[in-house]
Amino acid sequence: MDDVFADSLNLYGVLVAAFVVLVGLGTLVGMPWQYSNSATVTVLQVVGALATIAIGAGLGWLAHTQ
């Protein structure tokens, strides 16, 4: 049986990526825009949280496929 994580850094990379994705999801669930009076700030916060999720997923893919 092949080891899914052949290198320990591979495992750490995937764990860090999962943490980044969870931070992005936590930001969306926490609804930080409820404290903002500006639609621009709200849109930027949502885009930033979605970008965090995308970056985390990309890092996880990159760490696991390399």
Task: Enumerate residues 6+ apart whose C-beta is below 8 A from 64.
Answer: 10, 13, 14
pLDDT, tens digit, 9 for 90 and up, residues 1-60: 456 666 777 888 889 999 999 999 999 998 877 888 888 988 999 999 999 999 999 999
DSSP 1-66: ---S-SSHHHHHHHHHHHHHHHHHHHHHHH-GGGG---HHHHHHHHHHHHHHHHHHHHHHHHHHH-
pLDDT at site 10: 83
Amino acid making up residue 32? P
Q: What is the pLDDT of residue 5?
A: 63
Q: What is the pLDDT of residue 51?
A: 97
Query: For residue 65, which of 3, 2, 5 has the smallest C-alpha distance?
Result: 5
pTM of the model: 0.81
